[in-house]
Structure 1
Amino acid sequence: MYSKLINSLNKKSDKELKALMANAQKKKASDVIEAVTKEVSRRHPILANNCRGFDHAAYYGEGAVMDCVPEQLGKIKVSEIRDVVKFQYEGELVRIDTFTNCYPTDITIPDADSKEFSKHSGKDGICYFGDLVSSEVVTKEHAAKLFPKAFSKIGNFNQFTFKRA
């Protein structure tokens, strides 16, 4: 019923997508809601900061992207997270992993060595799993050019756990 509209989403502005989402929610048009959510996620993936270098796949299993307690998501809804760009230091460089088709799974947050992360140990949390579609290692300065919302101009991480690009 909405296939022509859904196929045109990639040509719509962010403002138009927001209006379409509001109308689709009023009309309870689940196909349009799902398509708009996917398009917004594709354009503005969730940026995930993994400074502590925790190996999520080794702990949770193949395809694990990132874990968190719900409060760390801020205003981002659990169901909105489909595409994730994860950053992690590798010495003086930054590894950037891009995941698609992400979905949440309930977990218990593991014990952590650092004081900063140990406050979440044992709490109910969420682990996102997804498909790794690209991985690259770049300088901090190049990472800052690619993802200015995630890094300062000199390539240091801005303070965040999750934010929308």
Structure 2
Amino acid sequence: MERTATQPASWPRRLVWSFMAVCLGVMATLVFINVVLRYGFGTGIAATEELSRLLFVWMVFAGALAAYPAGEHMAFTSLVMLLRHRPMVMKAATALIRLLVIVACGLLAWGAWQQVVVGLGSHSVVLKYSTALLPLPALLCAVGIGLMAVWELVRGTPLDLGHGVEVE
């Protein structure tokens, strides 16, 4: 079901948006304070760079997770739209696309998991957080998108070819 501009976003999506807004706000504040300290007083806070990097990684993957169910990821809709008048071929293409998404998510999750395991034994230089926190959002994002793709495949959800695109 497509959400219109007048319908409110679901609570998980609002939660992710709020999380991303907090990450962005903290990052902007930290970077601003560090710039003022460096150029105004010749000093700085080393932890701002590490924390900003960590928050940026989490924000990006949270955004990717929130974008999938909304159909906001990049897509080659013009290629698929050529099949819209052939329902059986369109169903097969949809299933293939969903399977490719699941495979890609599996590969990303496997690689991210390996990095999480490696990161469990080390800590960041300044803040001393476990470096497993850097690849963890990639793992969570891959699992989340993979589960959504499996659910769409099982339910037979048609591809969202909206966005007002036309075949060129």
Shared fold by TM > 0.5?
no
> Which structure shows the bigger proportion of residues in strand conformation?
1
> Which structure shows the bigger proportion of residues in helix conformation?
2
Specify the structure having the higher radius of gyration (Cα): 2
TM-score, reference length from structure 1: 0.32
